[in-house]
Amino acid sequence: MRYLIFLGSSRKSSPPNPPRLGEHVTQACKRYFQQAYPQHEIEIIDPLLIDTGSVFKPHFAYGQRTVPETLDTLANKIRSASGYLMVSPEYNHSMSPALAHLLNHFGSSNFAFKPSLIVTYSAGQWGGVRAAVGMRSFLSELGCLPVSAMVHVPKAAEIFNNEGRCLDADSDAQWASYFERGISQLVWWAQAAATHAEQVDPHDLIKHFQRDPSQRNAP
C-alpha cells in the first residue's frame, strides 16, 4: 500500500533565518511510519516542488483541455494512494494556506473513501492544535476522513532535526509511540477501506457531481 505525506509549508528561508520546520516534522512522520510499517510505501509531497501556476486553476477545471502534467501526476498519486498524512503548521490559528491551496486543486473524488491523519506543529508551545480543529472539517469535506488520534508537535525546532531525528535521543521512544498511535489508526482504516472497496466500489455506489455541488442539495 502507498501513503502520501503532504508537507504543509511552502515557506522559503535561508540561513540564519528559521528553517522550514515542516521538513523536520515530515521527515519524522516518514521515519516513524517506516519503522512501524516497513512493508508500505511512503512519498512526501512538497508544495515547493510542485508548480501549480500563478493563477488558481484546479485539476478538474481543465475539462477537455490538456491538464498540466504536474497536476495530473499528483492527481494520479492521490487517487492511487491508500491514505494521507496531512502535516500542517499553525498560521494565525488556522491550517497552513499552502496545504489548503495545494489540496484545493483536486476534487474530493480523488481522496474519498480513504483515511487521513492530522499532524500539526508549531514553533511555539501549542503544537498547532487550533489548526488541527479546522483541519477535521476540511479533510472530512475532502472525503479522506481524519482518524481520531492526532499528532501535535510543539516547539518543533527543539524536537526534530531536518532528518526527522529526535534532538534528544532519550525521548525518541516516547515520540515513536505517540506517532505510531495515529499511524496505526490510519493504516487500520486504510486496510479496512481497501478490502471493502474490493467488494463494493464506492464510486459506483455514490455518483460524483457531474455539474456542481448543488446536485447534493435537499429537494
Q: Which residues bind ligand FMN (CB under 6 A)?
A: 9, 11, 18, 20-22, 89-93, 122-124, 126
Is the Cβ–Cβ distance between 150 and 185 less than 8 Å?
no
Nearest-approach distance from CB 8 to ligand FMN, in angstroms? 7
Distance of CA 67 to the CA centre of its chain: 23
Written as nine digits, the cell of 178 is 505517540
The DSSP H or E segment spanning 6 is strand 2-7
Q: With respect to ligand FMN, which residue has the nearer C-beta, 95 or 147? A: 95
Q: With respect to ligand FMN, which residue has the nearer C-beta, 44 or 112? A: 44
Q: With respect to ligand FMN, which residue has the nearer C-beta, 117 or 187? A: 117
Per-residue H/E/C for 27-81: HHHHHHHHHHCCCCEEEEECHHHCCCCCCCCCHHHHCCCCCCHHHHHHHHHHHHC
Nearest-approach distance from CB 175 to ligand FMN, in angstroms? 18
Nearest-approach distance from CB 191 to ligand FMN, in angstroms? 30
Q: With respect to ligand FMN, which residue has the nearer C-beta, 32 or 113? A: 32
CA distance 188 to 195: 11
Nearest-approach distance from CB 164 to ligand FMN, in angstroms? 13
Q: With respect to ligand FMN, which residue has the nearer C-beta, 82 or 122? A: 122
Amino acid at 159: I
Nearest-approach distance from CB 201 to ligand FMN, in angstroms? 38
The 3-state DSSP class for residue 121 equals strand
